[in-house]
A and B are shown apart, each in its own frame.
Chain A
Amino acid sequence: MKTYTNTGSKDTRSGFGAGLTELGQTNENVVALCADLIGSLKMDDFKANHPERFFQVGIAEANMIGLAAGMTIGGKIPFTGTFANFSTGRVYDQIRQSVAYSGKNVKICASHAGLTLGEDGATHQILEDIGLMKMLPEMTVINTCDYNQTKAATIALAKHDGPAYLRFGRPKVPNFTPEDQNFEIGKAVQLTEGTDVTILATGHLVWEALEAAKSLHEKGISAEVINIHTIKPLDDKAILESVAKTGCVVSAEEHNVIGGLGESVARVLSQHKPAPQEFVGTQDTFGESGTSDQLMDKYGLNAKAIINASEKVIKRK
C-alpha cells in the first residue's frame, strides 16, 4: 500500500498566506481584502509587500464582499479573507447577488472552518459553509487538505476565471502532499489504490482517511483513498470509476452530513451507479468549545470513525 509521510505539521491557513505572498509577486492584478483578521488569515506578508494592493476594511464583511465585487470591474482579482462563518453565512446575499449571479471573479478565502478552530466554540465553528457555497450556481468550492495543497490551490485560483470559495483551517495538521504539485481545480487525487472500499475525503479528513487505510490494510481490507479537494465541480468520473471497482463508499468531511461532500457524492451515485455509502461528518449539530482533538473525537471525525464506517459499509455490499 502506498504510504505518505508528514514532512512537518503546518496550518493550512499558512499555506494560503504563502500562496498569496507568491501571487503578490507574480500577478499584479491580485488584490487582497481583510476584515480585522490579518494575523489569523496570515495576510501580513502580502500587506507588507504590497500595501497599495491591500485593503483593511474593518469589521465589516458585507462591505468587504461588495468592495471585492466592485474591484473586479477594471480587472482586479480580489482575494477576501476572514473566518469561514463570516465569509459565508454572514454575507450570503452579498455573495449571491454581487459575486455569483453577477459572475464576478472574487476568491472568497475562509479560515477557521469546522470544529478544529477549537475553544472559540459554536459561534465561530461553521459546519454548513460547504453546503451554502455549493448551492450557489457558478460557485467553485475547494477544501484543501494540507499546507502544500492550500498554497497550490491559492495560486491556481488566480488563473481560474470565476467566483470561488476556498476553505481551510486553523490548527497545525500533517503536511504530506508534494510541494511542487500542480493543483487542478475539479480533479480528484487518488492517494491509495484499493478494491474493498472507496474513501472520499476532503480537507482535514484526508490525512485521517490515510491513517484509516493503513489500519484497514493491517486488517486485510483494501481501501482506495481519494482526496476530493474540489467539492464543486465534483469529479464524477473519478468517483464512479473507483466505486465500480470497490462497490461501496465512505465520505469523510469536517462538515454537517447534511449539505456536505457526502450528499454530493450520493447524488452522483444514485444517478449513475447506486452503491452503499456511509457518511463521516457531524450529524446535524452545532459544535462547541474544546481542543481540536477532543472535538474531532467527540463528533466522530477521525481515523477511528472512518475505520468503523468502512467496516460497516463493506458489510452492506
Chain B
Amino acid sequence: MPNTQQLQDLTTQVRRDILRMVHKVNSGHPGGSLGCAEFFVSLYQDIMDRNDTFDMDGIGEDLFFLSNGHISPVYYSVLARSGYFPVDELNTFRLLNSRLQGHPTTHDGLPGVRIASGSLGQGFSVALGAAQSKKLNGDNHLVYSLHGDGELQEGQNWEGIMYAAGNKVDNIISTIDLNGQQIDGSTDVVLPMGNIRAKFEAFGWTVVDIENGNDITAVLEGMAKAKSLTGKGKPVCVLLKTIMGNGVDFMMHTHAWHGKAPNDEQLAEGLAQNAETLGDY
C-alpha cells in the first residue's frame, strides 16, 4: 500500500490533471473536483478492496458510485492513475467521440464507471440497490458513494436515506462533500439545510465526521473508522468537510469555480502551485 508521501504526490498530480483537463476544453467543474482529490486518492489507493480488472458486476470487490457526476475530472484522473484506462486518454475529456463524457457514463464503456450520473440526487438509490445486490450474492464487500452537499436538496436522496436505515443496509458508506457551496452561492444562502448530522442520525444512520477532508491522514483515519462501523445493522455516513477549489489559492472557498475553467494565465498559476510529481499525461 502506498505511504502518505506517495498519496500526497498522487493528489498533487491529480490536481494538475483536473486543471489541465478543464482548461483544454474550456468547460467542466474544477471546484468540487479539487476539493475531493484527497478523498478519491485515499479511496482508490488505500481504502477500497478492488480487483485488478474492471467488470460491471464487481463481485468480490468494493464498489464506488459518484452521485455528483459533475466532478468527473477528479474521478477520471484517479481512475486512470489507478489503472482503469490509459492516462493519455485524459486528453480526450469532453471531446467529441470520447469515452470521457462531461458527466460519467456507462454508455461509452469507460472502465471504472458503473452508472451514469450528472442529473443530481439519484446516487443514493443506485448505491443502495448495489448494496442490496451484494447481500443477495453473499458478497460481504462494501459499497461506497459520494454526494454533494447542495445535491442533498433533492428529495430522492431522502427517500434512499430513509430506505437504508429501514432496511438495515449496513454494507454502505456514503460520503457527503461538505464544501458549503453550490452553483448560485453558499448552501446557506441558496437553501439552508440545517444540521445535516442530526438529519442523518434522525434517519437512523451512523455518522462519522472528517473535519479536514483535505488532509490525507485525516481522510484515511476517518474512512477506516467508517469501515469499522459497517456490518452493525446501520448504514454509515461520512461528513467530509472540504474546501472547494482546494490547492489553487484563487479558486478556494468560493462557488465561482464550480463550473468554470481557468484561462491560460490562471492555468499557469494553478500549475505553479501544484508542481509536477508523477508526470503529466
Contacts and interface: CB of A to CB of B under 8 A. Distances in A.
A86 B102 CA distance: 17
Nearest to A57: B191
Interface stretch (B3-11, B114-122, B226-234, B263-271): B114-122
A67 to B, nearest CB: 12
Interface string A74-95: 0000000000011000100000
Interface string B172-203: 00000000001110000011000000000000
A288 interface: yes
Contacts of A90: 119
B196 to A, nearest CB: 14
A289 B120 contact: no
Nearest to B191: A58
B103 A121 contact: yes
Interface residues of B, number: 32
A36 B149 CA distance: 13
Nearest to B187: A58
A124 B119 CA distance: 7
Nearest to A60: B153
Given A38-B184, A39-B184, A118-B27, A123 B154 contact: no
A294 B25 CA distance: 13
Given A121-B101, A124-B102, A286-B107, A60 B191 contact: yes
A290 B119 contact: no
B121 to A, nearest CB: 7
B133 to A, nearest CB: 23
Nearest to B182: A36
Contacts of B105: 121-123
B36 to A, nearest CB: 18
Contacts of B31: none
Q: How large is the interface on A (under 10, 10 to 19, 20 to 34, 35 or more residues)?
A: 20 to 34
Contacts of A40: 183
B190 A123 contact: no
Interface in A103-137: 118-124
A123 B96 contact: no
Contacts of A85: 119
Given A119-B102, A124-B102, A294-B96, A86 B190 contact: no
Contacts of A58: 150, 153, 182, 190-191
A37 interface: yes
Contacts of B117: 123
A58 B182 CA distance: 9
Given A37-B184, A294-B96, A295-B96, A122 B150 contact: no
Contacts of B182: 36, 58-59
A291 interface: yes
Contacts of B108: 288
Given A119-B102, A124-B103, A289-B101, A56 B96 contact: no
Given A60-B154, A120-B118, A36 B190 contact: yes
A27 interface: no
B27 A298 contact: no
14 contacts: A36-B183, A39-B183, A59-B153, A60-B155, A63-B155, A119-B27, A119-B28, A119-B94, A121-B102, A122-B105, A123-B118, A288-B108, A290-B94, A290-B97
Given A63-B155, A122-B101, A123-B105, 18 more contacts: A36-B183, A37-B183, A38-B184, A40-B183, A58-B190, A59-B121, A59-B182, A59-B191, A60-B155, A119-B28, A120-B27, A120-B102, A123-B69, A123-B118, A124-B119, A290-B95, A290-B97, A298-B96
